[in-house]
A and B are shown apart, each in its own frame.
Chain A
Amino acid sequence: MARITGGELLKRILEKEGVRYVFGVPGDQLYPFLNALRDSSIEFITFHDEASAAYAADAYSRVTGRLGVVAGTVGPGGANLIGGVYPAFAEGIPLLIITAQNQTFRSYPDHGSMQALDQYLLFKPVTKWNAVVNSWKRIVELTERAIRNALTGQPGPVHLDFPSDVLHATGDEDDVSLHGIENYRPTLQPQGNADLINRAAYMIINARNPIIHAGGGVLRSGAENEVLELAEYLQIPVTTSISGRGILPEDHPLCLIPNSFGAIAAQAEADLVILVGTKLGDLDFWGRPPMWGEPGTQKVIQIDISGDHIALNRPVDIGIVGDARETLKLLIEKIRSMEERRDKREKNEEYKNLERQWLSEYEETSTLDTIPIHPLRAIWEMRKFYPRDAISVIDGGNTTVWAHYINRVYCPRCFLSSSAGDSGQIGTGVAYSIGAKLAHPERDVYCITGDGAFGYGVMELETARRLGLQITFMVLDDSSWGMIKSGQTLYYDKKYVGVDFNEIRYDEIARAMGCYGERVTDPKGLRDAIRRAKESGLPAVIDVKIDPEKIPPDFQTLATIWLEGCESPPKEEYEVKKIN
């Protein structure tokens, strides 16, 4: 007949769910929950900023496939969380966001409390589901419901707003039943419709030149083995969205690096596209010709857990709502019963050759000994140093474009990037790295970040140091918002506005927080610096002074996508300079 607080009850539900970490920033209103965690298998990981805490929870979920949990206090805490939750919302990452709220009798509507904020409405646009938990008696029901919503169907962040009196309130522990996971949420995801799968199988085996285009939904579902099996069985080349990188190792004979010439040619020439777990967003060129075939001529089968994604940006011939892994299992079984394994397809080698041609220039540049250091050279040294299963975190604007060329991904869920999804959120790198390293302490985690992006999360170096996490951060330092400056260089005749920083010694900042720090200005020093960073056993920052004049060759392409329909600046005013 023990009485327990709302905070204690919340902790017990999270323990049942198997939560290992709650990432967050503490606050007065969270006291009962924080106090409950003192005696728990769950560890509270404190951050300097709520957004970073949310990024860490997000990364933890991305690399484990499990629920991430983040907590913040009322008002400013909730407001600061929003930016951190946005990538998870944009990219379908299951997060439970816990905010403290002022007392029930002071909130909804507020009448003058400090830090008052309508967090229910605030979180609505960036969550899949949310609720105010306005009674101790509803903690179990609403928390289980939130988790069910986060993990069922299209995953996504969910939010619970806990008034402080609810967390402080006590009730009899015998009055509540904590359920096993299988009692409050599905533990298997739904398969697609069998008739549609049969039709899809028939269409696939009769296709002359099919491709698979797989996205982040495949990683969320854990369907990478099924994608590989289908691809190898019928020798179907696989392209991925940026967020789907790692579904197949990028040196696999059937894998084509996103947006490489090989991938674009395969996408344009395929007579059948099997879309799995992706909605064909802007970095997939919206599924439009000429980068894809003409609708009607090029057939499309789409498999997605979300009905809303089916035919979102392009008409489909067969749309199947279902979990990627469960649906592909059925599809493969059907195909195996109808068709023999294929040895090869004529076009595959041609696509791979196009990919090699596309890569060759970047690989050549990555060996340059020029000073200032070419960004590709620095990225190449980092990738070369680490094993295939290292988790790479990429953050920034131009940095992510440069890294796209040369930072190869070889395993599922080992690539985290601000560009790897729909948010394009920069400033995620340090916290993503911390979340990933906590999830996989046995694996190497490295982060390549632009200096602007690094500035958002630099204080979290202290978090990494406190937690004893060896992560190496390579800062590609051009003392500017490089991507925006590139645009002003190319389109506005170098008339710069708001893009330059002062000189900053990021290595010295690192040392001030007890981390390892080193600046590198000569490319010949990169490899040893990376080695020393790792051997330090500490979070390490390598501040690499890069050539600020270099603009990624695809910058203009990206600008074209992002500014489609915008004639800016007017042609007669400025000359567009050729990219060298």
Chain B
Amino acid sequence: MRFGSEEYLKKVMEVTNSDERYSEMVRNEDATYTFLIEPEPENGVRDGITLGYSMKGGKMVDIWLGERETDFVISGRYGIWVDLVTGRTGVTSAFLQRKLRIRGEFSRILRLSKPTEYWIQLLRRIPTEFDGIYSRYNIG
């Protein structure tokens, strides 16, 4: 399924909520998130994607495409999201390189770094198709 599509988001929700370990890790970390995935026309990614989700009691309780007011906004070019999802770079490393930008409480992001790394590993279970030149990194 196409990375960032509605179908993909639903699968993310399913995978996330079926993992008890992750649920336990973020049980007390209720928050809402927006991901801004920026286009790269030069690399065949014409459209950006804005998506969001809400975590409550260790479960993903809502997902959406488009903008809403959220606790955290994390933004970056399409390619860096591909790097993250495919494990080609780590979250902390992406922040350090300023390839990912964050709006929100930084200490909380750091506190969630381990669960987030774990969560990204879960996403690798989802067959994923990437746009443009990144199709070479399709998963599954």
Contact = CB atoms under 8 A, between A and B. Distances in A.
Interface of A: 261, 264-266, 268-269, 285, 288-291, 347, 350-351, 354, 357, 556-557, 560-561, 564, 571-572, 575-579
Interface stretch (B26-34, B49-57, B107-115): B107-115
Nearest to B133: A572
Contacts of A557: 92-93, 96
Given A261-B113, A557-B93, A572-B136, A290 B107 contact: no
A557 B98 CA distance: 12
A561 B136 contact: no
B89 interface: yes
B26 to A, nearest CB: 14
Interface residues of B, number: 20
Given A288-B98, A575-B88, 9 more contacts: A261-B113, A269-B106, A269-B107, A350-B107, A556-B89, A560-B93, A571-B88, A576-B89, A578-B90
A291 B107 contact: no
Given A268-B106, A351-B107, A560-B93, A290 B88 contact: no
6 contacts: A269-B106, A290-B106, A350-B107, A560-B93, A571-B88, A575-B88
A350 to B, nearest CB: 6
A285 B92 CA distance: 13
Interface of B: 83, 87-90, 92-93, 95-98, 101-102, 105-107, 110-111, 113, 136
B93 A556 contact: yes
Nearest to B97: A560
B111 A354 contact: yes
Contacts of B87: 576-578
Contacts of A289: 98
Residue of A285, A347, A557, A560 with most partner-chain B CB within 10 A: A560
A261 B111 contact: yes
A354 B108 CA distance: 9
Q: 6 smallest A-B Cβ distances: which pairs?
A: A265-B107, A268-B106, A261-B110, A578-B87, A576-B88, A556-B93
Contacts of B110: 261, 264-265, 354
A264 B92 CA distance: 11
B111 A564 contact: no
Grouping DSSP codes into helix (H, G, I), strand (E, B) and loop, the A interface class, with mixed when no group exceeds half, is helix
B90 A290 contact: no
B95 to A, nearest CB: 6
A571 B102 CA distance: 25
A571 B90 CA distance: 15
Given A261-B110, A261-B113, A290-B106, A285 B96 contact: yes
A576 B94 CA distance: 13
A575 to B, nearest CB: 7
Nearest to A565: B97
Contacts of B106: 264-265, 268-269, 290
Contacts of A266: 107
Nearest to B82: A571
Contacts of A351: 107
A560 B107 contact: no
Nearest to B96: A560
B97 A564 contact: yes
Contacts of B88: 571, 575-576
Contacts of B95: 290-291
Contacts of B101: 290
B96 A291 contact: yes
A269 B102 CA distance: 13
Contacts of A265: 106-107, 110
A291 B106 CA distance: 9
Given A261-B110, A354-B110, A354-B111, A561 B96 contact: yes
Contacts of A347: 107
A354 B107 contact: yes
A209 to B, nearest CB: 11
Given A264-B110, A269-B106, A572-B136, A290 B89 contact: no
Nearest to A578: B87
B98 A556 contact: no
Residue of B87, B92, B107, B113 with most partner-chain A CB within 10 A: B107
A269 B136 CA distance: 39
Contacts of A560: 93, 96-97
Given A571-B88, A576-B89, A290 B98 contact: yes
B135 to A, nearest CB: 12
Nearest to A268: B106
Given A290-B101, A291-B96, A556 B90 contact: yes
Given A264-B110, A290-B106, A350-B107, A579 B90 contact: yes
B90 to A, nearest CB: 6
A339 B93 CA distance: 41
B128 to A, nearest CB: 16
A290 B94 CA distance: 11
Contacts of A578: 87, 90
Nearest to B87: A578
A350 B110 CA distance: 11
B115 to A, nearest CB: 11
Contacts of B98: 288-290
A331 B88 CA distance: 48
A264 B107 CA distance: 8
A574 to B, nearest CB: 10
A264 B136 CA distance: 35
A576 B87 CA distance: 8
